[in-house]
Amino acid sequence: MSTIMIYASMTGNTEEMAETIAANVRAAGEELQMKEVMDAYGTDLTEHDGILLGAYTWGDGELPDEFLDFYEEMDNIDLTGKKAAVFGSCDSCYPEYGAAVDILIKKLEERGCEVVLEGLKVELSPNSDDIKLCSEFGARFVEKIRA
Ligand SMILES: Cc1cc2nc3c(=O)[nH]c(=O)nc-3n(C[C@H](O)[C@H](O)[C@H](O)COP(=O)(O)O)c2cc1C
């Protein structure tokens, strides 16, 4: 069993979440491959049982531009039997708080994937409490994919 994490981060906040989550997934003994979305293809998801997606929210509650090709490619793949979770940094100044997390959860579910954790949204740069939440998110994800 292995997990892939695909993420986008423009100013480093989602990347910090990604690195903390990844460290905790690996610490729990799960093999994890990490890719920035620009280097990823939808078909990468078919090669793993666990999927972690991370994205900040852009525009008026939209996915980052660099996620759009990957998001479209997801329409061509069947994710039945796979387990996933989604995270991202957000900004509560915007009315559509962390909408990219919700958009990705919806797409994963549409493609047959079981989303095993509530999406993790962190306000801007993760503080120490947020880092703890990210650590727990990684550990709980491993528990869920092994259940
Ligand atoms: C033009 C622009 C639009 C944004 N739109 C939203 C939004 O609709 N909802 C939201 O929660 N955050 C929004 N944000 C905030 C970013 O998601 C936030 O700054 C995040 O921390 C960036 O993450 P990153 O450091 O991983 O790039 C927007 C930021 C910019 C610059």
**10-residue block means of pLDDT along the chain (147 residues)?**
95 98 98 98 96 98 98 97 98 98 98 98 98 98 95
Q: Which long-range contacts (CB under 8 A, 24 or more apart) does 95-100 make?
A: 95/60, 95/61, 96/57, 96/60, 96/61, 97/57, 97/121, 98/57, 99/57, 99/61, 99/62, 100/55, 100/56, 100/57, 100/58, 100/61, 100/62, 100/63, 100/64, 100/67
pTM greater than the 0.95 cutoff:
yes
pLDDT, residue 114, reads: 98
pLDDT value for 1: 74
Any atom of ligand 1 within 6 Å of the Cβ of 139:
no
Residue 60 Cβ contacting ligand 1 at under 6 Å: yes
Burial label, 103 (beta-carbon count in 10 A; 0-12, 13-18, 19+) = buried
Q: Are 108 and 51 in contact (CB under 8 A)?
A: yes
pLDDT at residue 139 in the model: 98
Q: Is the CB of 98 under 6 A from ligand 1?
A: yes
What is the pLDDT at residue 70?
Answer: 98
Residue nearest ligand 1's atom 29 by CA = 58
